[in-house]
Amino acid sequence: MAVSAPFCHGVPPFTAAARGSSARSRGGRLGLVEGCCSGRIAAAATDAAPVTGAARVGRRCELFDLHRQIVPYVDSWGWQKSIVERRKALVGIDTDTDEDHSDTLIALQHPPVYTLGNGNDEKYLNFNIEDSPIEIHRIDRAGQVTYHGPGQLVLYPIINLRYQKKDLVWYQRSLEDVIIRALQSAFSIKASRIEGLTGVWVGEQKVAAIGIMCTRWIVYHGLALNVTTDLTPFQHIVPCGIKGRSVGSIKQILQMASNGRELNDAELMDTAYESLIKEFAEFFQLSLEPSPDLHL
């Protein structure tokens, strides 16, 4: 069984450049985030079966911190697919027979790229798909088109929901909760949901998109948070097929609230990352273990 749910978003190993520059986890608050598109929840299979808190506490989660790195989309897609295929072989019927004992979290940024879900309608592109202004990929998630680029923090959690709750709607709402908590904690930004839509909003501006794929209750893809993102490429699409709403970033929101005060992009990205992974680990009761490399 494979199920996808709205997310606006392949199997080569790390490139030499990415492997050599992999950032180490920083001190202080550990944090979270990834990227994609929203929209109404599609094919959301639910089978509520949370395990006990005792079983969840301290479950290991390998953390690959590339949040300062610009990683080609096809590389990250390949890493996810390779990890998922390896872990599918370990999944049992239930938690008693399941040998998949470790989750994964990858944090990174992408170069400019549009991604189209498997149900994409090209009417949401303000250009001819054969003449895209930037790289474009069709991928295996639900939802419409979205944009990823530098300054956008993308988190790819690869989680076995048998150790959480076998409910895709719950998982998406949980990722939203993590982002909302992180924005409040790190930046005193009050974010919220909009009923019927997936993602996180500040007023009428969408600042984070969420999209997932699920196979044998292992979920992947994830979320994307606009930290210092150049928002111009969003003007060439209807992000996630949602008309009449705008896209925003943390930097833009903070500057508007401070009459244009200068902000350090690297510091904003570090702060967002640390806050997000902290909230992520606490919410899902995971023990993050920084790893220097993806062993694919």
214 in active site: no
Q: Which helix (H) or strand (E) holds 62?
A: strand 59-70
Tokens standing for 168? Answer: 């895709």
**168: buried, middle or exposed (CB in 10 Å: 19+, 13-18, 0-12)?**
buried
- Catalytic residue (choose from 8, 36, 37, 240): 240
**13: buried, middle or exposed (CB in 10 Å: 19+, 13-18, 0-12)?**
middle
> In 110-261, which ranges are E strands?
113-116, 135-138, 145-148, 152-160, 200-202, 205-215, 218-226, 246-247
Closest CA to 160 of 116, 200, 219, 204: 219
**Positions marked active-site:** 240
